[in-house]
Structure 1
Amino acid sequence: MAHTVFCARYKQELEGLEEPPFDSDFGQKIYKSVSKKAWGEWVEHQKMLLNEYRLQPWTPQAQEFLVEQMTQYFFGEGATLPKEYVPPSH
């Protein structure tokens, strides 16, 4: 049986993640309140942030920035795009 959550982003019951994404209290919070769909969208958003800001994800500064952005994305006012961001044209 699939793990379901009341998704913080979509405000409805959806399939949850298979396991917490991090071994921390924040990882547990995400596991309990973020859907698999919303997490997949975050991963794509995170890739854009890494590229636009030229972040090195192994650095503590980048990790702190990404956690702040993730908190806003799921539990705050939502994510804002970098000023210079131009979405890819397909």
Structure 2
Amino acid sequence: MAHMVFCSRYKQELEGLEEAPFDSDFGHKVYHNVSKKAWMEWLEHQKMLLNEYRLQPWTPQAQEFLVEQMERYFFGEGSELPKEYVPPAH
């Protein structure tokens, strides 16, 4: 049976992640409160942040920034978009 969570982003019960995304208190918070759907959307948002800010994800500064943005994306007012960001046209 799927792991179900009350998703903090969608405010409804949805299928959760199969495991915590990282081994920390915050990773477990994400596991218990973020749906698989919201997580997949975050991964796309994270790619945009990495590209737009030209971040190197292995650096502590980039990791700290991404965790802060993730906290805001799932549990706060939402992650900010870069000022110059123009969404791709579909």
Q: Does 1:85 align with 2:85?
A: yes
1:38-75 deviation line (CA, Å, top 9, x unaligned)? 00000000000000000000000000000000000000
Determine the C-alpha separation between the residues in 1 that align with 2:36 and 2:87. 23
- Structure 2: gaps of 5 or more residues: none
The 5 A counterparts of 1:12-31 are 12-31=12-31
Determine the C-alpha separation between the residues in 1 that align with 2:53 and 2:76. 21
Q: Does 1:49 align with 2:49?
A: yes
Secondary structure of the residue aligned to 2:49 is helix
- Structure 1: gaps of 5 or more residues: none
CA-CA distance at 1:32 after TM superposition: 0.2
**TM value normalised by structure 2:** 0.98
Could you list the structure 1 runs, at least 4 aligned residues long, displaced by more than 6 angstroms after superposition: none
Determine the C-alpha separation between the residues in 1 that align with 2:66 and 2:79. 11
Aligned CA-pair RMSD: 0.5
CA-CA distance at 1:89 after TM superposition: 1.7
| Identical pairs, percent | 84
**TM value normalised by structure 1:** 0.98
Amino acid at match of 1:7: C
Amino acid at match of 1:69: Q
Secondary structure of the residue aligned to 1:5 is strand
